[in-house]
């Protein structure tokens, strides 16, 4: 379960930057093409946060849809999974969004 190591990295990154301040909310962006299960990440985040300033923080996860661009027909289209094929039939496509995995914001006490 790589979501646990991702959750631990997120908690570490937040605690390093917030020092001893209490974290109330964390907002993540986890694209649908990132290969990360948002539900597993949510569960692992709670485990990784225990005993830190992030413990008990509300976790909000945005899951942007995937978009790809076809090199053959230059069309940009929605994509839901990692089997990437343009409606024109070409497999020469590049993901342009939906593979994000980032911390968007952190709300802390004063």
* Coil/strand/helix, residue 90: coil
| pLDDT at residue 102 tops 90 | yes
Please give the pLDDT value at position 1.
56
What's the fold here for domain 2-65+98-108?
hypothetical protein PF0899 fold (3.30.2320)
Percent of the chain with pLDDT over 90: 90
> 70 near 93, Cβ under 8 Å?
yes
pLDDT digits (tens, 9 = 90+) for 7-34: 999 999 999 999 889 999 999 999 999 9
* Residue predicted with more confidence, 56 or 82: 56
pLDDT digits (tens, 9 = 90+) for 44-80: 999 999 999 999 999 999 999 999 999 999 999 999 8
23's CB contacts (< 8 A; 6+ apart) are 14, 53, 54, 57, 106, 107, 108, 109
Average pLDDT, rounded, for the chain: 94
In the chain, where the domains are located: 2-65+98-108
Please give the pLDDT value at position 82.
79
């Amino acid at each position: 379960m790589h979501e646990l190591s991702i959750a631990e990295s997120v908690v570490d990154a937040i605690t390093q930057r917030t020092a001893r301040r209490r974290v109330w909310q964390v907002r993540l962006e986890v694209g649908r093409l990132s290969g990360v299960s948002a539900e597993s990440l949510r569960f692992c985040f709670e485990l990784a946060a225990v005993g830190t300033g992030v413990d008990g923080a509300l976790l909000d996860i945005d899951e942007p849809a995937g978009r790809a661009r076809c090199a053959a027909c230059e069309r940009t289209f929605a994509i839901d999974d990692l089997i990437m094929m343009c409606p024109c039939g070409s497999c020469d496509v590049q993901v342009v969004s939906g593979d994000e995995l980032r911390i968007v914001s952190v709300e802390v006490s004063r």
